[in-house]
Structure 1
């Protein structure tokens, strides 16, 4: 059976599908902008408002609290009003939050506005991968969901470039407010998107679902085959909480989704994105301009390395790339910790530390960054998909909040070396968990994965062909 799957000719991809996926992935651009912009703005915010380390952590982490609540609300919204309208709400929150940050007169208003941005990010991080998994055909599903992660990295890089440009004047309001413009573009773009055919079938709108599939698939035959597969799978209605309570197999997939998101966040990549200038300062780069340009280089590396995932995820598969990425990150964190422990005094040592940091970013961007989102959107059965993805996305932001709210405290408590060694150990744990629990889902339909899960196969085997 495996030989047949490998030798099967790859179907052509409809250009309209690629366009729709690109527009949906724009949500990732806003996600990345909001993640990256705070890195450059934080030193100026701390100076203007006189923020302590704890207050700086609060400004960073309150966005994750909003994101967790946004993700929690997205599941019921997606089920009730659809993927498109929920994404539209997220775009509106992006606009409101970015305007609020730009005009914040004090710390309290800034925190409220960051919370709104977090809610927008939570909605986007839930809906966009889910929508992409339901719109994209299976032979490019991994690449299209990875495109979402690519847009996140581009957003982070754009934020770093913007921060660097405005850092000369110290104008943090423009740093935070410039996000308003792409947020408006996203809002207009979402208006042009079709609704998910799976959601339409769940709402007994089969004619509309057929029209969407005819628009997005290369042939009528492909559209009708997929429509029939969806018709069979949607016979089981969305009943996430009830299914979670009653079905141990669904509990397994939900817990796996939560575990995957914690694995992604505890690699240590989040702290590099949020506190990049601080890390470059620890490495011995004293001036603000050196720190900001170092941050830009880190963001560019993140973007370029994501193309590795897009090119390989549907060729090599999810699991081999994850194992490679976690291994690279563990090695880099270990060596960086050692350098901080022994001391960084010469220019050569500074550049070695930066090189290790960039290799770490490559390891993340080619593996855990995009592939965790791919897997979390693939492993949940249709009847509980909204609930399962809600839980995993909320877990991402809870873990994100923990990381963002503790990094400076860890540095102050156990030192730079101890902090990086801690993350090295966590990456080793991620390798073990990948070997034990993570399935390979390359070239396997969502319906096939669901059948394996509900048949009680071990989690690492639910991606096996039937």
Structure 2
């Protein structure tokens, strides 16, 4: 009887909102998405800050190329551990509490980096901070996918990547400001501010309805869904679908050992994250000043151009939010990989000429901007969206944990190895290699990646478990 009264009140409130022309439900979902997406902001801050700080850290501690590579990559090592732990934590304490834990650990880690007294201590706090980022990178997309409706799921999960790009841009601006004084400690320290906001914000977001149902807290789940959906019928239907899915327990490792269809979805998740990282975006984000140095830009020009790169990366991700649920996943990926391959190929050709003219320098910056725009509108957000969609409910936590672990391990290899590859191959051949890899990804997109636009998670799972080809799981 109480549930019926609550439902009637919710319906009455909905009618009032529609009459006033203000969609309160959509506003609530987007507000929750922005708060949870602060996990991405923190990740972006850490990715961006090291690009500007690295040069000054190297001078202060007389660091070698290998040591600088490990300062960059210590965070990825910690993130790999965080990603592996995230599945268990997210299942045990819930998505909301996992996000809160990540924010707290990040605040401690970034403060430790600001007060680091040696290269080993800096690596340690980067490792610590990385754990929080790995945990949040796993948890935030799952939480966003479970809060969103079917028609907004792509945009909601893309909020995470959008916040990553905003974080990178803020970090680049901060780096540029502090580069005049060379104060790399403040570059790290400012990241503690959004961590505090995230800690506070997570307190006010609802628990994931799916997780509540997993815990047997059905009444709370219903109240949240009625509040977040357009009508009670939609909420009731979604609860029935979730209950049906959850009749099967989370036994990812067991399923992985026994079910070839699940192994296919795990393999696809691994491939998606390898593609995202090998596309080359973090090479640009971690080492943008170094790349611009090879193009003969002076120190301050390097920092300002890097900040512009971060801004383009952010703006282009906004465009992806509007397109992902309209155009679909695959068309955007085709366009993105094509743009990135062309941009890196042209950049390699420019670097091969020696970059002696001002025109060639400006063109090189333009290619970096085009590359970042191509990534931010495609592989950046969409790989997270797809990884949250393709895993069956019984192995979802396991599958996404493996995908996130792969993301950070690939990131680690790139962070450690890029400077050495650059020294060995030279700048032109290095970027030609990246161009060739992106061209290969166009083929892999055609062969293996499904179009999941507008498809319910239930239908995608059913088709996967029936043995339908990966590329045909969606429409």
2:52 — aligned with what? 40
Paired positions, count: 453
Q: What secondary structure does 2:391 align onto?
A: coil
Q: Distance in 1 between matches of 2:330 and 2:296?
A: 37
Q: Distance in 2 between matches of 1:19 and 1:342?
A: 49
How far residue 163 of structure 1 moved from its aligned partner, in angstroms, is 0.6
Q: Distance in 2 between matches of 1:18 and 1:308?
A: 16
2:165 — aligned with what? 153
Asked whether the 8 Å contact 2:25–2:227 carries over to 1, the reply is: no
1:128 — aligned with what? 140
Asked whether the 8 Å contact 1:39–1:273 carries over to 2, the reply is: yes
Q: What secondary structure does 2:110 align onto?
A: helix
2:119 — aligned with what? 107
Residue-by-residue CA offset, 1:94-141 (whole Å, 9 max, x unaligned): 111011001111111110000011111101110000110111001011
2:422 is the counterpart of 1:414: no
How far residue 14 of structure 1 moved from its aligned partner, in angstroms, is 2.9
2:433 is the counterpart of 1:433: no
Q: What secondary structure does 2:182 align onto?
A: coil
2:30 — aligned with what? 18
Residue from 388, 399, 410 that aligns with 1:388: 399
2:209 is the counterpart of 1:175: no
Asked whether the 8 Å contact 1:70–1:118 carries over to 2, the reply is: yes
Residue from 365, 375, 396 that aligns with 1:364: 375
Listed as ranges, the gaps of 5+ residues in structure 1 are: 1-10
Listed as ranges, the gaps of 5+ residues in structure 2 are: 1-22
Identify if the C-alpha distance between structure 1 residues 13 and 142 changes in structure 2 by more than 3 Å, giving closer, same or farther.
farther
2:214 is the counterpart of 1:202: yes
2:246 is the counterpart of 1:234: yes
Residue-by-residue CA offset, 1:396-423 (whole Å, 9 max, x unaligned): 0000011111111011101001110111
Asked whether the 8 Å contact 2:174–2:187 carries over to 1, the reply is: yes
Q: Distance in 2 between matches of 1:12 and 1:172?
A: 43
Asked whether the 8 Å contact 2:162–2:318 carries over to 1, the reply is: yes
Q: What secondary structure does 2:151 align onto?
A: helix
How far residue 372 of structure 1 moved from its aligned partner, in angstroms, is 0.4
Residue from 213, 234, 240 that aligns with 2:225: 213
2:324 is the counterpart of 1:313: yes
| Match runs of 1:248-263 below 5 Å | 248-263=260-275
Q: Distance in 2 between matches of 1:425 and 1:90?
A: 36
How far residue 13 of structure 1 moved from its aligned partner, in angstroms, is 5.1
| Match runs of 1:215-364 below 5 Å | 215-285=227-297, 287-364=298-375
1:118 — aligned with what? 130
**What TM-score do you get using the length of structure 2 for normalisation?**
0.94
Asked whether the 8 Å contact 1:12–1:218 carries over to 2, the reply is: no
Asked whether the 8 Å contact 2:286–2:415 carries over to 1, the reply is: yes
Q: What secondary structure does 1:104 align onto?
A: coil
2:154 is the counterpart of 1:142: yes
Asked whether the 8 Å contact 2:337–2:375 carries over to 1, the reply is: yes
Runs (4+) of structure 1 exceeding 4 A deviation are: none
CA RMSD of aligned residues (A): 1.0
How far residue 146 of structure 1 moved from its aligned partner, in angstroms, is 1.0
Asked whether the 8 Å contact 1:198–1:230 carries over to 2, the reply is: yes
